[in-house]
Amino acid sequence: MATNGDMFDDFLEQRGHRTEAPSWDREYNKKQCPECCSLHDLAATECSVCGWMP
């Protein structure tokens, strides 16, 4: 049986929205901020450009 959260996630996914927890994207050997697309070292825990944190 699906929970309300699962049904809501399915609804959003069917309409093109991302429902997984936000995380760093990878670009070559760097982390890429999903908000502003700036590149950071792999040790980064916060975006130094926009302040985004996973």
Half-sphere exposure of 29 (CA within 13 A, CB side): 0
8 A C-beta contact, residue 33 and residue 40: yes
Each of the 54 residues of the chain gets a pLDDT tens digit; together they read: 567 678 877 887 888 887 777 788 887 899 999 999 999 999 999 999 999 998
Listed by start position, the domains of the chain span 21-54
Q: Name the residue with tokens 């997984």.
A: 20
Burial 23-44 (b: 16+ CB within 10 A, else e): ebeeeeeebbbeeeeeebeeee
